Amino acid sequence: MGIELFYFEGCPSYVAAANNVREALQLEGLSEQVDMVPVETVAAAQAQRLIGSPTVRIDGCDLEGPEAEARGYGLGCRIYHDGRGMAGWPSVGLVRRALRRRSRPDLQ
């Protein structure tokens, strides 16, 4: 399983996102590494499909699902909704649900 975290330098949320992704991996008993992918220009944001910083993909799929890409791409901040509120990074629960969908498709 490949996990990537796309961000732009100066993003106030990418460290919290990385910490939550690592915690979710640990809680799910997974040992995958998180590839940190810096995005430096608007052109790179378009090319790398940056929905906003931070963007987390598991096996190339956004953790909120493919429908998240309808928001468009750019060098802006991203907001995540997890049913309990909003934050600039994905909650551990949101990441865990995405990991389960990707690692155990039979549970969908």
Q: State the average pLDDT for the chain.
A: 92
Q: 3-107 adopts what CATH topology?
A: Glutaredoxin (3.40.30)
Write down the pLDDT at residue 106: 55
Output the tens digit of pLDDT for each of the chain's 108 residues. 999 999 999 999 999 999 999 999 999 999 999 999 999 999 999 999 999 999 999 999 999 988 998 888 999 999 998 878 899 999 999 999 999 988 765 544
- What are the tens digits of pLDDT across the range 43-73? 999 999 999 999 999 999 999 988 998 888 9
Cα–Cα distance between 23 and 93 in angstroms, integer?
A: 10
